[in-house]
Structure 1
Amino acid sequence: MTQVWDNKAIISDVFGRPPEIELESVGDGWSLCRWRQFVGSYSVPALPDPMFIVHIAGKPQVKTWMRDGWSETSSIPGCATVHPAGTGTSWLVDGELDVVTLSVSSDLLRSGSQQELFRQMRFAFADPLGVALTRQILAELYAPDNDGRRDYVAAMVNALKAHILAGPPVGEAVSDIPTSDFSAYRLHKVINAVQAKPEADMSLEEMAAMAGITPSHFCRVFKKATGITPHQYVLKARLDRAQQMLVQSEMSLAQVAEAMGFTSQSHFSRAFRSYAGTSPREYRQRRWGTA
């Protein structure tokens, strides 16, 4: 029997395993899957149908390849991504990946506006309603099976599908999310600010103010989402950027330390060794292929 290489089959082949849970309706043109995968980089060939991806749990360091390098922005739990059909992608997972994908048949994209929604990759954006619907569907899929539950899940999937096909409100940018309550978008905003300028001396109070909550609440929410404290995340971002600078530039160790906001070269070297398991000098020599 000839295998049908749909989205699910292609992703299963890349991961080397089937989805943890799956639900599909061939007649309605959709397929929903939950995937769990661990650290590594994965290249996904072009998919026949577009896909809506919700980052459910796991570590926040999930990046995608953007023309000439890994994206500076990382997807975190609570973010959504639109994956177009016909485009191959690469993914970098630092920790556990836990996502739900909803593949929608290209035949359902009848109008030009719907086709436009899935024409390009939209990575790691805030979609509170889409995420909430996905989480509710997932919760129901793990509940005991009965006729009422199946009808409820089907209705929820159709609501999610309608939400996705409707696209963002007319005249409103995707990032214009109400901020009266704490959301993944606002946490993502802080993480983006740290990734953009890891060397900046951003205090806990400043990060909490950016998220619009108290420092103590921010610490709890941040650690729950990322697994580390805000201070640890800033240090990790600085050391990640320092690794790039060591390989891609000829700056001295002292210059790298100063550029990344460390108080001294010795402070930088101690932190780097603790993080990378080797000194900055040894790391550079290994990457440059010198003794």
Structure 2
Amino acid sequence: MNQNKIQGKKLTSEAIIADHLGRGPDMVLQPPGDGWCLSRWRQFVGSYDLPALPTPLFVVHIGGKPRVRTWMQGGWSEAFSAPSQATIVPGGLPTRWLVDGELDVVTFSPDMSAIQGTPGLEKARRMRFAFSDPLGTALTQQLLAECYEERTPERAIYIDTLLAALKAHVTYGSRQRPAEAIPTADCSAYRVHNVINSIQRNPGADHSLEDLAARAGLTSSHFCRVFKKATGESPHQFVMRVRLERAQQLLVQTDLGLGELSDTLGFASQSHFTRIFRQATGRTPSAYRRNKGSATLQ
């Protein structure tokens, strides 16, 4: 028996997904007589195999861990999907998913008769995993938020307007390229920029390679390659440079003791801080403080 049919009735993509996950969606938005369907799914750690679906799916990763991978070319993808990214799953393609933590996604399946001959259908003929689509993501998130608000005539009009905008967006087809193609190797500039900002905001945090790679949605080895290509430094070198630059500021601008300063900036010990600082500046921290910062990083 065709697994996508029950007693001769063709199942929807949503029914097939629910059957294979063992649970239905948390929320469904489908106006009466409308062939488009928006659904919210929450899933947990595990590996999931989905059969070919009758329609393509526009998927927005809205929450949970940034550690979702898909099976591509004989192995799990190096890139991860992270919250705020989108994926297009073409109809007719079986897929596999690896979820390392809680997953919160929204799927949007189209009315196939409405997208025939459109750019959206053409773009949905191939898998597009973890790409940046700010407009599609924003529309999806706003629609989801409105679905939990109190029912009023104004809310109904607003939801219809948002839904029409999302339909038009999906039908037209996002022109964004996959995240791994923008702009360096397999990581977008936005991902690297976020990692850099997080280090600069709090240089004393435990910026392990594994944590940094997870924030960028990449494996550790792949993250090292794209980070160095973007910054000219390895992640460890960049973290140490930011810590030392902050140490120079604190030595001149504050009266923090060396022990407290080394703890604040994430060094293993005061002696470790002193050794690294002297290698970088040619002076000990105490000498640097006495001379009011006359040395520079080498």
TM-score by length of 1: 0.63
Asked whether the equivalents of residues 57 and 109 of structure 2 are also in contact (C-alpha less than 8 Å), the reply is yes
Shift in Å, 1:93: 0.3
Asked whether the equivalents of residues 219 and 230 of structure 1 are also in contact (C-alpha less than 8 Å), the reply is no
Asked whether the equivalents of residues 128 and 178 of structure 2 are also in contact (C-alpha less than 8 Å), the reply is no
In structure 2, do the counterparts of structure 1 residues 218 and 166 end up closer, same or farther at CA, with 3 Å as the change threshold?
Answer: farther
Larger radius of gyration between Structure 1 and Structure 2 = 2
Please say if 1:17 is aligned against 2:18.
no
| Counterpart position of 2:57 | 51
Asked whether the equivalents of residues 118 and 172 of structure 2 are also in contact (C-alpha less than 8 Å), the reply is no
Please say if 1:233 is aligned against 2:239.
no
Gaps of 5+ in 2: 1-5, 224-235, 237-298
Gaps of 5+ in 1: 179-183, 192-206, 242-260, 262-291
**1:40 aligns with one of 36, 43, 46:** 46
Secondary structure of the structure 2 residue equivalent to 1:98: strand
In structure 2, do the counterparts of structure 1 residues 239 and 153 end up closer, same or farther at CA, with 3 Å as the change threshold?
Answer: same
How far apart in 2 are the matches of 1:105 and 1:218? 47
| Counterpart position of 2:191 | 188
In structure 2, do the counterparts of structure 1 residues 146 and 48 end up closer, same or farther at CA, with 3 Å as the change threshold?
Answer: same
**1:147 aligns with one of 131, 153, 156:** 153
Please say if 1:215 is aligned against 2:202.
no
In structure 2, do the counterparts of structure 1 residues 12 and 218 end up closer, same or farther at CA, with 3 Å as the change threshold?
Answer: farther
Secondary structure of the structure 2 residue equivalent to 1:25: coil
Shift in Å, 1:106: 1.9
How far apart in 1 are the matches of 2:209 and 2:24? 37
TM-score by length of 2: 0.62
Shift in Å, 1:214: 6.7
How far apart in 1 are the matches of 2:203 and 2:117? 45
In structure 2, do the counterparts of structure 1 residues 57 and 173 end up closer, same or farther at CA, with 3 Å as the change threshold?
Answer: closer
Asked whether the equivalents of residues 50 and 105 of structure 1 are also in contact (C-alpha less than 8 Å), the reply is no
Secondary structure of the structure 2 residue equivalent to 1:124: strand
In structure 2, do the counterparts of structure 1 residues 6 and 98 end up closer, same or farther at CA, with 3 Å as the change threshold?
Answer: same
Secondary structure of the structure 2 residue equivalent to 1:114: helix
CA RMSD, aligned part only?
A: 3.4
| Counterpart position of 2:291 | none
Percentage identity across paired residues of the two chains: 43
Asked whether the equivalents of residues 76 and 188 of structure 1 are also in contact (C-alpha less than 8 Å), the reply is no
Secondary structure of the structure 2 residue equivalent to 1:149: helix
How far apart in 2 are the matches of 1:163 and 1:143? 24
Asked whether the equivalents of residues 65 and 103 of structure 2 are also in contact (C-alpha less than 8 Å), the reply is yes
Please say if 1:6 is aligned against 2:9.
no
How many residues get paired?
Answer: 210
In structure 2, do the counterparts of structure 1 residues 76 and 173 end up closer, same or farther at CA, with 3 Å as the change threshold?
Answer: closer
Asked whether the equivalents of residues 41 and 106 of structure 2 are also in contact (C-alpha less than 8 Å), the reply is yes
| Paired letter, 2:191 | H
In structure 2, do the counterparts of structure 1 residues 190 and 86 end up closer, same or farther at CA, with 3 Å as the change threshold?
Answer: farther
Shift in Å, 1:190: 6.7
How far apart in 2 are the matches of 1:239 and 1:214? 20
Deviant stretches of 4+, over 6 Å: none
Asked whether the equivalents of residues 30 and 37 of structure 2 are also in contact (C-alpha less than 8 Å), the reply is yes
How far apart in 1 are the matches of 2:96 and 2:131? 18
